[in-house]
Amino acid sequence: MNSEAQAIKGVGTPATRMYGLMAIVALGWVLLGGLIFTPEDAVQGDAVRIMYVHVPTAWVAYLAFIVTGVASACWMIGKKHSLGFDRVAGASAEVGVVFMGMTLLSGSLWGRITWGTFWVWDPRLTTTAFMFVTYIGYLAVRGLGGTAQQRARRSSVIALLAVLEIPLVHFSVVMWRSLHQRATVLSPDGDIKMDGLMLFTLLFGVFGFSVLFAWLVSHRQRIMTMQDAQQTSALDAAVTERLKEAQV
Amino acid sequence: MSMSVSRIARAVAAKDLRIELRSRVVSNQVLPFSGLVMIMFAFALDNDDVLQRVAGGLVWLATLFSLFILVQRTFAVETYDGALDSLRVAGVNPQGIFVGKSVALFVQLLALESVLFLSAIVLYRVNVDGSGLVLLVTCVLCASAGLAFVGTLYGGLTAGARGRETLLPLLLLPVVAPVLICATRATESALRSGGVTVGEGWPWVGVLAVFAAVFGLGGLLSFGSLIEE
């Protein structure tokens, strides 16, 4: 039997329960603060409330992809090629893709209300869309099958190539837009005069979503550990059975 | 006694090109396919002025579509009969394989782009003069080098994987987006489409060269761990 499978009984620990509780409290505040307590914006009206979700999800998505890159590099550099790093990289990319999807969705709805259009070919938006697709590809590579070490090797290379790719995409899109047409709408931040409560709610949202990210990733990577252990223990069981058959 | 990287690269490139010359898949299928794509673009856009204006972009889009086929092919010949595994087991330096396969892909891309530019001149009525031609040739060389490196890199990754036909474009398209942007802008300058001058095209070629250098280096460093399975 695999010792890793026995060691983990459930995916929750006192630490994850603590982050979970912190995330609920913080996001509860963002919900109340964002929808009720904060004032509407002088120019944008109620539309500004999208910001309390849009900005934190974007932050978490970027954070998630940084974690994926760093964990992949740790896997590659580490002498033992510890699968723990690979699982953190994968779990973080999964959460990152979900949050980046939320960012793009909330951003295009916000854009429709404030700029009158769902999409503009702004460098930041375009690069974000490319990151989204790139990490969907990364997750597809993780799903190619094979052993856990094969998965780790392939996906770490893809994650590190993404670190090369994204600046090149961003740079070429910036050059493309700057030589062709200036963005004709407001800068993506809008022109928001922040009052204290709005800023507080926004920062609290960033905090709450970051804790939620930590909670999701720690659970997800534990589930992956169990899946990997199950795969190896199923293989061990099959081998033992065949060996018994041979002895009879 | 192990062979040097450059000798392995030459051997692998020569082998790949010889296979292509003898099987005639590129000349009889891929090149006609890309010519057909150019004709289909004309049907879709249905306007001579528009075609002339966007010719550069269409040539590079057709190149990308054909790139997927070329990359699949260059690795299909390796995974069939486990040729890639045999190379690995024989202790062949993976950097040599990477460079060799990239060179072979580069040569095939040059052939492909010559056909595409010729069809743009004939079908879309674009013109190119002396200084434009220098820019165009440099752009084609830099863009093809970048595409050959990333194509080999991601082709090696997906070689032998289930569902590689659909996975390869998903992985490769976002990565080659800078090539599409920069090569299209440089080509538009070379062809003077939409009133841009030839001088405006050179910075884009610079980005293409950086792209090729970055992915060439990335491939040399990582190709070994991608095919080692």
Give pLDDT, residue A183: 41
Residue pLDDT tens, chain B, 229 long: 467 889 999 999 999 999 999 988 888 889 999 999 999 999 999 888 888 889 999 999 999 999 999 999 888 888 877 888 888 888 888 899 999 999 999 999 999 999 999 999 999 988 888 889 999 999 999 999 999 999 999 998 888 777 777 889 988 998 999 999 999 999 999 998 877 888 888 989 999 999 999 999 999 988 888 876 5
Residue A153 contacts residue B156 (beta carbons within 8 Å):
no
Please name the residues between 197 and 236 in chain A that touch chain B, using a CB distance below 8 Å: none
Residue B117 contacts residue B43 (beta carbons within 8 Å):
no
pLDDT tens by residue, A38-95: 888 777 888 888 889 999 999 999 999 999 999 999 998 888 888 999 999 999 999 9
Q: Do B226 and A154 touch (CB under 8 A)?
A: yes
Of chain A, the end-to-end C-alpha distance in Å amounts to 22
CA distance A198 to B218: 44
pLDDT above 90 coverage of chain A, percent: 35
Nearest to A137 among B174, B222, B225 (CB): B174
Place of tokens 């989204």: A132
Give pLDDT, residue A187: 47
Could you give the number of structural domains in chain B? 1
Give pLDDT, residue A193: 56
The average pLDDT across A6-16 equals 71
Predicted complex: ipTM over 0.85: no
Q: Do B157 and A154 touch (CB under 8 A)?
A: yes
Is A124 in the B-facing interface, judged by CB distances under 8 Å? no
The burial of B202, by beta-carbon neighbours within 10 Å (0-12 exposed, 13-18 middle, 19 or more buried), is given as: middle
CA distance A117 to A216: 33
Interface list for chain B against chain A, based on CB atoms closer than 8 Å:
153, 157-158, 161-162, 167, 170-171, 173-175, 177-178, 181-182, 185, 200, 203-204, 207, 210-211, 214-215, 218, 222, 225-226, 228-229
Nearest to A169 among B178, B215, B226 (CB): B178
> Would you place residue A181 in the very low, low, confident or very high pLDDT band (cuts 50, 70, 90)?
very low
CA distance B219 to B94: 10
Residue A56 sits at φ, ψ, to 5 deg, of -65, -40
Residue span of the structural domain in which B122 resides: 5-227
Q: Mutation test of the interface with chain B: which of A127, A154, A172, A177, choosing the one with the most B Cβ atoms within 10 A?
A: A172
Using only C-alpha atoms, chain A has a radius of gyration, in whole angstroms, of 22
